[in-house]
Each structure stands twice: as structure tokens, then as C-alpha cells.
Amino acid sequence: MNRASAERHIAAILVADIVGYSRLMGMDEAGTLRRLKALRRELIDPSIVTAHGRIVKAMGDGLLVEFPSPVRAVSCAVQIQRAMLTREANLPADRAFRLRFGINLGDVVAERDGDLYGDGVNVAARLESLAEPGGLCISRSVHEQVRDKVPYRFEDRGKLELKNIARPVGVFALSAASLASLAVPDAENEAEEAGPDPAHDVSKEARSRTARRILLAASLAATIAAGGLGWWSWSAQRAAEPASLIAQQVSSPLKPVPGLSLVVLPFANHSNDPEQDFFADGLTEDLTTDLSHLAGSFVIARNTAFTYKGKAVDVKQLGRDLGVRYALEGSVRRTSERVVVNAQLISTETGAHIWADRIEGERSRLGELQVEFVARLARSLDVQLTQAESLRALRERPNNPDAADLSMRGWAALNRPRSLGNADEASALFERALQLDPDLSEAVLGFARATILKVTARWSLDRTKDISLADEKVRLVLDNKPDYAKAQFVKGEILRGKKDFDGALYMYDVAVQNDRSFAEAYANTGLAKILSGSSAESFDFVRKAIRLSPKDNLINIWYYYICHAHTHLAQWEQAIEWCNKSIAHGPFWIAYADIATAYAWTGRHAEARGAIAELLKIMPGYTVQKWATTDWSDNPTFLVEYQRMTEGLRKAGLPES
């Protein structure tokens, strides 16, 4: 590089890319390239030209663009993202293009060949990687220039450390949901700043047509979002879906979120041994359960909280994403016989620490230490801690800490994404724990949970034997701890395995009464409603689970439950939309069965065949007969609806046998 030939200047730099482009190329290289060329030709390049931008270079799916002003850069990005809302609405969510943009105003070095480099470009690239799919991130320098000139309200994410950037950068974001709900700005005002440019002027009639098209697209987008039917608004959040958006799109069967709403972030492990992570994780999970007993509390479920493990967290953004007012964070230091816990309660509205404490003691007294800790927190929030005595009994630790460690490792395996391997690993760890301490209730319950999971996931080689074994184990726990929510939930799963759905619904209900953050219990209530022939009653319960744990590793399955309820009700368009959301968050074989059925019944035969092809990639050799003879339920209403799905799979082209 000949630096003597370079010159410096201030520029508004935009960096863009397509999310998941490598995955899309792997699925369909020729088709993806064809669609990318059409997208550039029909939307992106004309929008950049209209905004007086200059494409510095294209890098596969990425673009580096220079603009004469931040206003033009932001307006161009917004225009493109809004157009994307409806551009590929006919494609499945996992195949549609989703863009993200980063915009910075800063010093750049320009080469004679037109290339740019320097911190101004580097910061824009880092901002692009922070943007939500379907959204954009801008630097504080850009925000200062545009905040009074464009009608977009950006979220302040605070100052963030960016890779290879010397100083923290103020970051502001515009989400996909915000873009969908924007009032349509005056098309002429969007391009105001640099004054008229004869080389790029657009006739008044053309501008009017453009404004009308944008208005139509935005109106359609707003209508879809208001009805909870826009697949794009969900697929654009695969990486990080804020609970605040979910709260707008789904209703809760219970109370609205109360003032005492919080998330327990994963406690950091400050022990010398990194393998003690499981110990900090176990404490985090226990505190999540304990704090849900605070009167009037709303506590985010542990699976979503654990997605923040090991990450730098902006607590203000965390509050907006999860819809909570407080975050509890802390650390654990564990030696051979002693435990030290430090914790802080932080306001997500101000970022201020409003309470901090430290407890320490013998490992054997950990249960008492936890109860003491929760009581201190309750007093600091001026609320009453209910069921203190039952909590104390619930958290008592055994005399054999090694057995407790094995049990906690078993639960950690169960909390990982569902697989037969994880279930088998958990079973083995619980068995080892019970060899050391046969009366350890957490190990007894864990073994029951792993066993019944194999039944409900259709991994069991002897369903009758495994159901009986799980039932025997969970009864031992409930005899001693009749109000233990986790045991009540496992009992519900056993009853579901027996096809006693009324009994399962009762146990799920008492479980959530004892742990109001038990997201999986809400979701499985929805599933049991479907299996018992009451699909129309399932939606609110599954949506409640999504609200409690929007980043759960089961989220694609919960989205499928909503799809499946719509399928049973022959609401084919809604089924297609929700199954697309499920697939977008992670391929799930049975979602392809439902979406193929829905496509077939709506006459979309090419899409139906495509869904069957995806199903057979995951489940080679699957047939109509296998589907028809799977014994999910013997409820008469369910069976009639299920038969309609079987016929739909025949129409879709699934092999008969």
C-alpha cells in the first residue's frame, strides 16, 4: 500500500452483510447467488445511488459504502431494511435474506483506487456485527448528527468495548421491530441535507410513487406485526430475540409483568478449578427458583439467563431485551470445604448498584446460606419472602458433598440441548451419585427426569418399564417434598407419558404455582392441551413460556407447539408461519411434517414437496404409516385432527410405507 498516495477525510461509512450467507450458500449456491444479484440490482444499488452513496467495494455478501452525510447513510439503510420486510415474504424464514448494517462517522484514509481504510471503517464493521438481523447499529458520532433530523428513535446501548478498537464506542441501535412500526417519513425530507443534486435528482412524481410503495409496505408490515403473523419479525431475531418484543406480540394468561421483575445472571466461577463451573451454575439455578417465591415477583427462567454466561453485559440493554427492572449478578469462590458468594443487585433502568452482599461458610451449610442470602435480598427490596421454611427444607444439602456434585453435573447435562446422549450422560451421573448417597433427593429426581425424558422423546426401548421406574423415583421425592415444583413437573411428564393428560395438566399447574418462573411447565401445559383435544386453549400457555425464557434452548420446540395447535385446528396459514419460526430457530424434524401438511392442504404442492425433502434429510425412511401409528394420544378429538394431518402428509408426497 502506497500511503504517500492516500488522503484523509471525514466520511459516513456504512458496512452491510447478509446474516447466515454461508449457510444459505451451502443449501443452494446457484439460487443464493442469483437472488443476491437481483437484490443488489433491484434494491440495494439503486437505494445507494439515490442517497448519493458510493460503493467502495463488495465482499461476497458484504458491502462497504461511503456517504456524504450520516443522514443519507441512515436513511438509505432504513429504506433498504423496510423494503426487505416484504421482499421475500414468500420464502421460508430459514431461506430469506436478512440484512444488518453498521454506520459510523469518522476519519478514513482514501487510496487513489478509491479504497478506504482506518478506524472509521473498522468501527463501522464492528457495529455491523452488533446489529440485530433486520436492524442497524450506529455510533454516537452518527447519532449526534441525525437525532434531530430523522424520525427514528434509537436505543442507547451505552459505551461498548469493540474488538481492536482502542476506546469504548457509544452504540445506538434500531431494531427490526422498530423499523416495522416506524411512521413513514416524507420522502423528500429523507434526502434533504446535501441539497439538490442534478446528477441524482428524482422527479416529484417518481418520489411520490416511491413514498406510496414504502407506505404500502409499512402498512402491511404493521398489520402483520399487530396480529402476530409476521414471520420476518421473528426470523430477524434468531440471534437475540428481545422479550420486550415478544411481550407486544403474545398475551399472557396470568398477570402483567410486576415491578419486581428480575433476571439472575450466571454467577462467575472464581475458583482456581474451571471445572467448578457447574457449582456456580447450580447456585444460579437455585437462586432463580428461590427468588420466584418473592411475593409479586417475575423472574426470567434459567435457560434464557444462561445465554449471557461469560459475556460482557450492558445491563440497560439487558433490561430492555428481557423486560425486567433488576439484574442480580455475582461470583462464587469455592475451596475444598468453604464457599464465598458475592452478589450485587443492579437497576437496569439506571445501571446503578442498589444492593450488594457477601456470604461465606462451610460447604455443608450451603442450603442455609442460600436461604439467608435470599432473605437478605427480600429485605433489601422491602418484600416478604414466602414459604421460608419449605425453601429451607428444599435447599438442604446432603452429608456427602461428592454425591451432590455428581447430581449437579447430572442436572447440567439435562439442561443442555435435548439429545439421547445428554439424557444417557445425565442418567449415569445420577446413578453414581445415588451409589454414594441413596437418599439424595436431587439425584433421585434427576434420574426420574432423565428416564421419563427418554419416554416422551421416543428414545426409550421399553416405555412401560421406564414409565414405571420414573414414577417410583419421583414418588420418593414427593413423599418428602410435596410442594417441590421440579418434582411436580416430572410427575406431570410421567402422566403425559401414560396419556393421562388431565392428571398431567393438574401437576403442571401446581408446579407453576410453586415456581412461577417454570417456563417449561407452561409450555408443556400447552402441549398437553393439544394432546387432550383442546388445541385452542394452548396458545397462552406456550406464549407465557416464551415470555419467561425468550432465549431458551427449547424455543424452537415451543414455537412448534404453537404451529402444531394451529395445524390441529386446520388454521393452515398460521401453522405455516409458526413452523417457519420454529425452523428458523433450529431445524426440528416434526415441524417439517406440520408445514408439509399445511402446504398440501392449501394447494402449495411445490413447497409441500420441499418440506418433505427436508423431513427425510433428518428422518431418513420416515413414512405415512410411521406417522399414523405413533401413539401420541387416544383422545377422540385429537385423533380426528391427527387423521387430517396424516392425509395432508399423503398429499405432500411422504412415502406411504
Please answer whether residues 125 and 101 qualify as being in contact, where contact means their C-beta atoms are separated by less than 8 angstroms.
no
Question: 623-649 as b/e, with b when 16 or more CB fall inside 10 Å?
Answer: ebeebbeeeebebeebeebbeebbebb
Question: Do the beta carbons of residue 325 and residue 259 sit within 8 Å?
Answer: yes
Whether 530 contacts 558, CB under 8 Å: no
Contact indicator for 590, 642 with CB cutoff of 8 Å: no
Note the pLDDT of residue 435.
92
Q: Among residues 173, 163, 417, 415, which one has the least CA distance to residue 312?
A: 163
Is the separation of the CB atoms in 104 and 120 below 8 Å? yes
Residue 450, SS3 per DSSP: helix
- The three cell numbers of residue 463 are 416405555
- In CATH, 558-652 is 1.10.3470: no
| Strand 268-269, strand 326-334: pairing | parallel
Rounded to an integer, what distance in angstroms lies between the CA atom of residue 139 and that of residue 149? 16
What percentage of the chain's residues is helix, strand, coil (to nearest 5)?
55, 15, 30
Distance from the Cα of residue 651 to its chain's centroid:
33
pLDDT digits (tens, 9 = 90+) for 462-500: 999 999 999 999 999 998 888 888 899 999 999 999 999
The pLDDT of residue 1 is 44
| C-alpha span between 427 and 413 (Å, rounded) | 9
Amino acid of residue 98: R
pTM of the full predicted structure? Answer: 0.50
CA 62, CA 640: separation in Å to the nearest integer? 50
Element (H, E) at 169: strand 169-174
For the CA atoms of 373, 376, 382, 386, what is the dihedral angle to 10 degrees?
50
Residue 53 DSSP class = -
Q: Cα separation of 217 and 383, whole Å?
A: 48
Architecture, CATH, for domain 253-397:
3-Layer(aba) Sandwich (3.40)
Weakly modelled stretches of the chain, pLDDT under 70: 1-6, 182-260, 272-276, 279, 293-296, 365-401
Q: Bridge partners of 159?
A: 170
Distance CA 584, CA 581 (A): 5
Report the pLDDT value the prediction gives residue 338, as an integer from 0 to 100: 79
Q: What is the pLDDT of residue 196?
A: 38
**Whole-angstrom Cα distance, residue 169 to residue 166?**
9
Are the C-beta atoms of 218 and 182 separated by less than 8 Å?
A: yes
Confidence at residue 561, expressed as pLDDT on a 0 to 100 scale: 97
The alpha-helical segments, DSSP class H, found in 437-518 are 441-456, 463-480, 485-497, 501-514
**What local confidence, expressed as pLDDT, does residue 319 receive?**
86
Which spans in 481-623 are helix H?
A: 485-497, 501-514, 519-531, 539-548, 555-568, 572-585, 589-601, 605-618
Helices (H), 272-383: 277-291, 302-305, 315-322, 366-380
Helix (H, G, I), strand (E, B) or coil at 244: helix
Matching CATH number, 3-234, of 3.40.50.300, 3.30.70.1530, 3.20.20.70, 3.30.70.1230? 3.30.70.1230
- pLDDT score of 377: 58
d(CA 474, CA 446): 9
What percent of the chain has pLDDT above 70?
Answer: 79
Closest Cα to residue 518, out of 549, 550, 557?
A: 549
Q: What is the pLDDT of residue 13?
A: 95
Domain boundaries, the chain: 3-234, 253-397, 558-652
